[in-house]
Amino acid sequence: MSHKHPPDKFAQGWLSELDGRTGIAQVMRERYAAFTADLGGAEHLSYAQRSLVERALWLEYWLAQQEQGLATGAEFDVGKWVQAANSLQGILSKLGLDRQARDVPDLSSFIKARAGR
């Protein structure tokens, strides 16, 4: 079953459950790709790292929703916001804030691979 928005509470696999036709799904999948690329590529990450990336993206989304509500006068629980912001900071610290180099083939291997297509 596809969903139009991320869930109100974190659930493993939420990103794959988003309806790919929606703008939010496209944005979140682009962010996942960018996040994992910064860490050296999703194919090089462990399950735990990929899980943390998914959690970080959900927290980032939740925090933005709360901030948007604050800006429009909706109820805002600063305690929950601080707890979520601290959780996001902890996940980002655990994953690392520096970009990781990806393994790239040398030029001759790249040319050979392209010629073999």
> How confident is the prediction along the chain (117 residues), in pLDDT tens digits per residue?
677 888 778 878 788 788 888 888 899 999 999 999 999 899 999 999 999 999 999 999 999 999 999 999 999 999 999 999 999 999 999 998 766 655 656 677 767 777 776
pLDDT of residue 103: 62
pLDDT of residue 1: 64
CA distance 102 to 104: 6
Tokens standing for 50? 């990929």
pLDDT of residue 117: 62
Exposed, middle or buried, 57 (CB in 10 Å: 0-12/13-18/19+)?
Answer: buried
pLDDT of residue 68: 94
* 59: nearest Cα among 40, 79, 29, 81: 81
Which residues, other chains included, contact 57 with Cβ-Cβ below 8 Å and sequence gap of 6+?
A: 15, 28, 31, 32, 35
pLDDT of residue 16: 79
Query: Given the structure tokens 């600063």, which residue do they identify?
Result: 78
pLDDT of residue 101: 58
Q: Give Cα 93 distance to the centre of its chain.
A: 14
pLDDT of residue 29: 93
pLDDT of residue 110: 65
